[in-house]
Structure 1
């Protein structure tokens, strides 16, 4: 492992540590997403708090937190196995942000952004899966869980050299959704409503 690789790990973690949800909510004069709604600093909770525009900004910025370090590492010719772990560090930054007392989100959008450079085919399949589950159930958390659970298997078929790191990412994200899983099983999980989408 080279010094450049270690630098990219650190850079990915630090970029991931910038909480888009908190900063966007401050910009729009909204409540702190850690203290409102689900308490999760992510795009879905910002959608509930402030509507489509701030939620869309959070989604885009969170995706870029994953895409930028992975894409940069690719162009710096980081070895494939280390390239994949750059994605893991970006997501760890989102989950455990250095700048926000290690209290972060679930890293679904950041993980998707990190997977984007692996290929548009893989990204398209994950978006299709996520969209289908949202359409059928209106549960954002369930859509995220289902999508990340199939991600390692799709990666194995399309880019097998990255299947293990993607599997690690998926396990981390499912673990971060443990409370959502309990609420889904009990029927207490919140759905995305037309009211949120019309804001």
Structure 2
């Protein structure tokens, strides 16, 4: 019962669209009408406001981490894993926005860091290295996500493999258009406003 409660609370926390909240509060307009229309930090960066993008990144990753840490404290490890996956699901399909949310990358990384920090930080390092080389956010996200189940297995955390696979599947689903653009060479680079 506790795990179910924390799953629901994790989903509701993950559903908070911080990118929209921040851009509206700063008078930057409706984020869904800017750039890609996505509600995450990469699209906030397209407004030209780097502090807003950083705040969105931290809050979107933080909501996954907070869901995990609270659930672990009050309900144990199974509750933590479920709450983290639910927070990730909430970001991708938020109830407050008619289930049209973001791509989940920041929430995915925050969730992994809270579940097992060596796994989360290694995934972050893959994202950063790929971004530094390619300057393509989606490619960085896809490689970090795809590596996560293998990393969990190699680090002896087989209990996290299913959670990683669940999040990877949703990241791939949410990045369908990006994958198409990557394949045809038209995916925009980090920092471009179009």
Mean alpha-carbon deviation: is it higher for 136-145 or for 151-160? Answer: 151-160
SS at match of 2:32: coil
The ranges of structure 1 where at least 4 consecutive aligned residues each deviate by more than 4 angstroms after the TM superposition are none
Query: Aligned partners of 2:120 and 2:38: how far apart in 1?
Result: 24
Structure 2 residue aligned with 1:36: 34
* Partner residue, 1:98: 95
The residue that corresponds to 1:165 in the other structure is 163
Alignment of 1:134-149 (within 5 A): 134-149=131-146
Deviation at 1:109, TM superposition (A): 0.5
CA offset digits 1:71-110 (Å, max 9, x no partner): 1111113343x43222111111101111112110011111
Which 5+ residue runs of structure 1 have no aligned equivalent? Answer: none
Q: Residue 180 of structure 2 corresponds to which residue in structure 1?
A: 182
After superposition, the CA RMSD in angstroms is: 1.4
Instruction: Give the match's secondary structure for 1:172.
Output: helix
Q: Deviations over 1:140-194 (max 9, x none)?
A: 010000100001110112211111111111111111101100011111111014x
State whether structure 2 residue 18 is matched by structure 1 residue 24. no
Check conservation: 1:43, 1:56, Cα contact below 8 A: yes
Gaps of 5+ in 2: none
Shift of 1:127: 1.5
Deviation, structure 1 residue 119: 2.5
- Alpha-carbon contact 1:17-1:98 (below 8 Å) kept: yes
Give the corresponding residue for 1:118: 115
* TM-score (norm. length: structure 1): 0.92
Deviation at residue 124 of structure 1 after TM alignment: 2.0
Give the aligned partner of residue 152 of structure 2: 155
CA distances 1:2-58 after superposition (whole Å, capped 9, x unpaired): 2x2111111011111110000000011112121110111100000011321000000
